[in-house]
Amino acid sequence: MYAEIIIPLALPKNYTWMIPASMEEEIAIGMRVEVMLGANKRYAGIVKNISSKAPEAFTPKPILSVLDDAPIVYEHQLALWQWMAEYYMCTEGEVMQAAIPSHLKISSESVFVLNEQQEQDIKNLSDAEYIISEALEIKKTLSLLEIQKLLDKKSVYPVINKLIQKGICYVQENMKDKYSSKVEIFLSLHAQYKNEAALEKLLNEWTRAPKQLDLLLAFLHYEKTEGSVQQKSILEKASATHAQLKALIDKGILVPEKRKIDRLANDISTGNSSIHSLSKKQENALITLKEQLNTKPVGLLHGITGSGKTQIYVALINEVIKENKQALYMLPEIALTAQMIRRLKQYFGGSIAIYHSKFNPNERVEIWNKVKSGEIKIVLGARSALFLPYKNLSLIVIDEEHDPSYKQQEPAPRYQARDTAIYYANQLKAKVVLGSATPSVETYFNAISKKFGYTYLDERFSKGALPKIELVDTKKQPAGTAILTPQLLASISKTIANNKQVILFQNRRGYAPYLICETCGWIPHCEHCDVTLTYHKAKNLLSCHYCGASYPIVNTCKACGKQNFKQKSFGTEQIEEKLNQSLPGVIVARMDLDNVKGKNEHDQLIQKFEQKQIDILVGTQMVVKGLDFENVDLVGIVDADSLLNFNHYRVNERAFQMMEQVSGRAGRRNDNGTVIIQVSQLQHPIIQFVQQHDYFGFYKFEIQNRKHFSYPPFSRLMSLLFKHKENNIAEEAANHFLQTLTPEIQKTVLGPAQPIVNRVRNKYIWELAIKISKQPQELQLAKKQLLHYIRLLQVHPRYKSVNIIIDIDPN
Ligand code: ADP
Ligand code: ZN
Ligand code: ZN
């Protein structure tokens, strides 16, 4: 017997290995097996197919071992991977890389790290496992090669797999992954003092060390009220030190004990809030949506900001879990999951879990298994949550469906998670609900073409009006007030005086997007990219927002030698500074990539803002999205021109969505919402539509442009990037490639052209943009041809070092 196996690499096809007779019984599709590639590379691959037909061209090598007792993925997942690889023109190995948590991936490049939190129980280890765990104790990390040497065996993955399962080591995916403890220390009273009289005597005769006594009393209190006492939390609650605790332990009064805690344990509480009853309009929308989903695979819930779309999703999800099926709730950004999970936990308690790529690998494996068994019913997550092994998925909610973050940019698979979810749901006979206040042009087009169901919610739940929009002409401001115009400042002061909060949006971080020499016009650029350097004042450096390189501040012009630099334009850091200067005593916080790192910091800031410890939140896109704050009355869009001025067919759509979404954060519970837009192009059609909150006007305007230029949804776009260290080679490769295409396809190609940023990380970029018909057959044919010519280019002596990036349905 032979097995086709997916290994997590970008190989052009899957290879076949031989199944040794001894393994025939234990192997099944969806299990991981250990295989050798080339002379000594080992991978844990996934069995995709089993057949009795031997490959014709060569004799396959045997599979070395079977790693799982049961499949880790369902066959419907493997079918999804295959579709993604075909549609997005990447490999199944790349999809596998994205799809499964690192702990389920083992390869020759893996590094295994001792889990220091775990106490080892030697009795439970086999000889081989014992040898490795001993070596880990000493060296802390081991490479696969080192493990192979230690064991001197042909097959080592089963041993490693067991060690991971037993929690003795973990796979390091990258240096940043920090393992968070699974073991916590709990305290208990020494048996001797469980006797009341003995305890009484101890307390009565206590003379010195009052702090220790305080700690002991606090301990007794919490033990009584909470059952168990965690060392960490009692130290915090009693404001005691480790030394004081140690003294109590040394005296034999308290006993520490390591205990395992289920990482998901906090989640396994039951939801206690009953689901809100819906307003009449919500009720109607729900009924329409459900009716449409009887006949259509996808329904669009178009509801203005604050209309209570979440409440409708909750009602739908509730029906799904009553039938004991699973639901997936997708959000575009990891950052949004934290606020949403707090809302959803109220209803669904422990049957809901969050899943995304920033979770540590152990947690991800736990969730993986619980979704596979069906124990977890609802998953809230970003893109990657689509890849969990659902046992019986029946509903996918895609909230903020218009959001560009649903598209993965780097690395492959460059997939659009919304579109992929729609495909997948179709395969599974599950239903999809897309929700947005500003649906993407494609989605709304599908809705009015009756391909999708459509429901419109035109009223805020609070019945309040949408915020009123004031335009401030930046051309007519006194010098030096372009950032915070007098109107904006006055509104901010008034809002804060009313005890309300403010959000200011500016889509650029840093202090100033560039510096310019006033004498000769020279602008500092990144050495590796064709991009101006952003000035960061607090960090006192210049930074490239494309490759992350940073540089010391330049004072002397490299072109003319003068010291005459001026800062141009402004970013969030400068707005924050200006606010602090203009409004002393007001508490300002900034939310952008520079000062919010990781899901926790983001969530902490959100919570502080929710709790009104912050008056003004200044931020980039991060503040735009789906958050629900009840106390925000004023939103300022500080520089709307920057949203309108770039060269992309989606510029209007993005600008409208961004402004409408950020406006939607204002006045969500009352009638007093105000949005101030600072802009110089007051007559710009998009500004007009935003001012009227007129999605339909915007759509009519935009769909005409799209049709005229035959952009999506009237065609499919595909972008091919040719990257090379040398500009002329990249350009030639793009031209050469173009020449190889058939005349029919050539006609549909734009370019080659250089993108606006034409060099990143020392590679020059040339782009071909291809508009293909949406006819599935034509599309497939075109893709096939393109792939063929790409393969030819990849072996062409002059161009084989050119890096070709294929992006289907690019953002
Ligand atoms: P959207 O996602 O459409 O912008 P949300 O779902 O965030 O709107 O709802 C806006 C606010 O109104 C939320 O705070 C929500 O709790 C409240 N809300 C919406 N519907 C209801 C309802 N049926 N009962 C109680 N509160 C509701
Ligand atoms: Zn100069
Ligand atoms: Zn750079």
Q: What is the largest CA-CA distance in the chain?
A: 98
Mean pLDDT of 224-249: 83
Does the CB atom of residue 276 touch ligand 1 within 6 A?
yes
d(CA 376, CA 385): 13
What are the residues facing 808 on neighbouring strands?
Answer: 718
The two tokens of residue 438 are: 């500003």
Mention every residue, 6+ apart, whose C-beta is less than 8 A from residue 5.
14, 15, 16, 17, 33, 35, 45, 46, 47, 48, 63
What are the residues facing 44 on neighbouring strands?
Answer: 34
- Collapse the DSSP code of 93 into the 3-class scheme (helix H, G, I; strand E, B; otherwise coil) and give the result: helix
> Which pLDDT does position 688 carry in this prediction?
96
544 CA from centroid of ligand 3 (Å): 5
Of 41, 66, 31, residue with least CA distance to 148: 41
Distance of CA 6 to the CA centre of its chain: 25
Does the CB atom of residue 286 touch ligand 1 within 6 A?
no
The two tokens of residue 539 are: 């960090």
Does the CB atom of residue 311 touch ligand 1 within 6 A?
yes
Does the CB atom of residue 326 touch ligand 1 within 6 A?
no
Answer whether the bond into residue 411 is a cis peptide, omega within 30°: yes
Sign of CA dihedral 61, 65, 67, 68: positive
Looking from the CA of 509 toward its CB, the CA atoms found within 13 Å total: 19
Other beta carbons within 10 angstroms of residue 647's beta carbon come to 7
The residue whose C-alpha atom lies closest to atom 16 belonging to ligand 1 is 308
Instruction: Please choose from 331, 455, 628 the residue to mutate so as to test ligand 1's pocket, defined by most ligand atoms within 8 A of CB.
Output: 628
pTM > 0.85 = no
Among the atoms of ligand 1, which is closest to the Cα of residue 630?
14
d(CA 427, CA 79): 9
Q: How far is CA 246 from CA 159, 220, 231, 249, 499, in A?
A: 39, 16, 11, 5, 47
> Which pLDDT does position 599 carry in this prediction?
67
- Pick the more confident residue, 570 or 108: 570
Does the CB atom of residue 91 touch ligand 1 within 6 A?
no
> Which pLDDT does position 377 carry in this prediction?
95
Q: 115 near 130, Cβ under 8 Å?
A: no
> Which pLDDT does position 177 carry in this prediction?
35
543 CA from centroid of ligand 3 (Å): 8
d(CA 29, CA 77): 11
Looking from the CA of 625 toward its CB, the CA atoms found within 13 Å total: 26
The residue whose C-alpha atom lies closest to atom 20 belonging to ligand 1 is 308
Among the atoms of ligand 1, which is closest to the Cα of residue 282?
23
DSSP class of residue 592? Answer: S
The mean pLDDT of the chain is 89
DSSP class of residue 667? Answer: S
> Which pLDDT does position 260 carry in this prediction?
57
Ligand nearest to the backbone CA of 525: 3
Does the CB atom of residue 436 touch ligand 1 within 6 A?
no
CB-neighbour burial class of residue 703 (10 A; exposed 0-12, middle 13-18, buried 19+): middle
Instruction: Give the DSSP H/E element, type plus range, for residue 288.
Output: helix 280-295
Does the CB atom of residue 435 touch ligand 1 within 6 A?
no
Q: Which of 43-47, 253-257, 460-464, 677-681 has the lowest mean pLDDT?
A: 460-464
Mean pLDDT of 585-605: 86
The two tokens of residue 480 are: 């030096």
* Structure confidence by residue, pLDDT tens digits, 482-513: 899 999 999 999 999 999 999 999 999 999 99
Does the CB atom of residue 306 touch ligand 1 within 6 A?
yes
Amino acid at site 550: S
Does the CB atom of residue 461 touch ligand 1 within 6 A?
yes
Residue 270 pLDDT > 70: no
Three-state secondary structure readout of 371-426: HHHCCCCEEEECHHHHHCCCCCEEEEEEECCCCHHHECCCCCCCCEHHHHHHHHHH
The residue whose C-alpha atom lies closest to atom 18 belonging to ligand 1 is 308
Instruction: Please choose from 316, 434, 461 the residue to mutate so as to test ligand 1's pocket, defined by most ligand atoms within 8 A of CB.
Output: 461
Residue 115 pLDDT > 60: yes
* Structure confidence by residue, pLDDT tens digits, 656-676: 999 999 998 888 877 789 999
Does the CB atom of residue 193 touch ligand 1 within 6 A?
no
644 CA from centroid of ligand 2 (Å): 30
The two tokens of residue 519 are: 């004498």
Ligand nearest to the backbone CA of 562: 2
Residue with tokens 């919010």: 596
Lay out the sheet containing 378-381: strands in order across: 352-355, 378-381, 326-330, 393-399, 431-436, 298-303, 453-457
> Which pLDDT does position 45 carry in this prediction?
93
Does the CB atom of residue 625 touch ligand 1 within 6 A?
no
Antiparallel, parallel or unpaired: β 541-543 and 534-536: antiparallel
d(CA 691, CA 637): 12
Read off the pLDDT band of 226 (50, 70, 90): low
Among the atoms of ligand 1, which is closest to the Cα of residue 343?
16
The two tokens of residue 540 are: 């006192």
Residue 289 pLDDT > 90: yes
d(CA 682, CA 476): 12
DSSP class of residue 394? Answer: E
Instruction: Please choose from 311, 330, 345, 662 the residue to mutate so as to test ligand 1's pocket, defined by most ligand atoms within 8 A of CB.
Output: 311
Mean pLDDT of 710-733: 95
525 CA from centroid of ligand 3 (Å): 8
Instruction: Please choose from 310, 331, 438, 693 the residue to mutate so as to test ligand 1's pocket, defined by most ligand atoms within 8 A of CB.
Output: 310
Read off the pLDDT band of 267 (50, 70, 90): very low
Distance of CA 499 to the CA centre of its chain: 34
Mean pLDDT of 177-195: 70
